[in-house]
Structure 1
Amino acid sequence: MASAPIRIRAGRFAGRGAQYLALAGYIVFLAFPLVWLLSTAFKSPQELGSINPTWVPEHPTLDNFRSAFDQQPLGGAALNSLLIAGSAALISVGLAVPAAYVLVRFRSAVSKAATGWILISQMFPFVLVIIPLFLVLKNLHLIDSRPGLVLVYVVWNLPFALWMLQSYVRAVPPSLEEAAAVDGAGRLRTLVSVVLPLLAPGLVATLMFSFVSAWNEFFFALVLLKSSENQTMSVILTKFLGAEGAADLGPLAAASVLATIPSLLFFALLQRKLTAGMLSGAVKG
């Protein structure tokens, strides 16, 4: 009889070990491109041309970073990406909050149709909408302008932001809003003072995904931005490719590392606030 608990504990230990092993394998799978990118960014041209590449550079150098800044305006492109992605994320979330609240709290045939349209709109490929989108922006004189690209990203990210925030709005107990209404608060006051603070984890998560999506987007930026002073990091990275597709590997890797850092920092910063908000909500509940 005593062996049965031992077998149960052994089975749980084996199951947990398999989970940790799978998680470790997944982390290695995700980390491999980033580690290889970092290694390539610090390698000399001789090491990059070696037939026996190594993980750790034998003679680390910053020449690739200097060459990347000399070849392309990375600073201006990074600033453009930051302004465009940040503005698009803030506007998308700002518009999505009241819209998601209305779709959840005021259920009707219109709201159901709007929710279905949100889901369907995510299935449209970029190529399908680029020509009419280009013509609309041309008529608005927003081609080759940062506000025009911000508008495109807001429209493109808004369905996802709406879809994501709806689940967080549903998690807010309607009894809290009813209590606020009894105290004389209107819908707008209830949304701002009662619902919005409880949506903090959802707002952070949606803001994070919207920013990263806009920061990494390439196709719209390539088509809609022509002048070099307006181009984003994702477009500037393609300038390190030659006419026949040959890549200047060292500077390209260095520029890619620089393009990855802001997104990682933004994610790390908001990740802490996301965790803090979730824990705060759990304690209050």
Structure 2
Amino acid sequence: MGGCVSSETEGLFFHPYTKGSHISLNSCLHQAERQQSFHHGIIFSNRPLRAKEKLKIRVLKEETRWHGALRIGFTSEDPSTLEPCCLPPFACPDLTQLPCFWGAGVPEELCQAGALLKFWFSGDGKVFCQQKGEPCARVLFSGIPKNAKLWAMLDVYGKTKAIQVAGPSQNMCQCQSQINKDAQPFGNGHSLEEIAEQTVIPAANLNSCTDTSDWHSQRNFQIFLGDDPSCVICQDRMADTLLLPCGHCTFCQYCIEQLQGLSQSCPLCRQTIVSAKYIGCGNSVANPVT
């Protein structure tokens, strides 16, 4: 994939290649926009951050029809070693259930368009968030390792549609600020969207993918079918709806109703949705979602 700037004296921007298939970056790599749907918006920083180093993120656009908003986290995995086409749809819980990834959702009220947010981690493993104008920071989560190289991990998720890295490196940048809607080239001249379409992992084969890298062989993709009772889209309501024929049942009825107005594909495996069945808290299939 090629090396990426890693010196902590260099500017901070988004990783140019390792990003979700719905993400487009502008030419200076300071702005990221999710081009469709509400998922596949994972992005990383170009280099590790130091303890107490501030990552400043400005929310440029929001899409209020979705629930949930920006996710923030850190990883000790160098993004340059990850395969973009194998990034899961969601940072939380898909990546955060794996070793070496930590993250949480940012409260929706902090993520309105125009908001300027600061994120950092302390030496004792706590991650903080502070909105411009707030007198005090809040702890988002804790438990990240001490004395480890940590890259920032963000998920342009739900209501959050576009974000920008703010700070000195962005202020000095003279390149175009408009989001480039064409995918960044990767591999043999294919866009990330093309690669993602060619490497869709069927639900039945999530644990048998061994043909690209250690990212496949060392991680357990059973997280897509995990036992978390919450809807993986909003993470607020209980998962109560079964998609057919793929069999994924990690969504709530409300989110599937919203999704079906935009797409007829399962967010996890991209199989065409023939029907969606409300199953409630039990195992019996009730009426289809209309």
Larger radius of gyration: 1
Pick the structure with more helix per residue. 1
Pick the structure with more strand per residue. 2
- Which interval holds the TM-score relative to the shorter structure? under 0.3
TM-score of the pair, normalised by structure 2: 0.22
TM-score of the pair, normalised by structure 1: 0.22
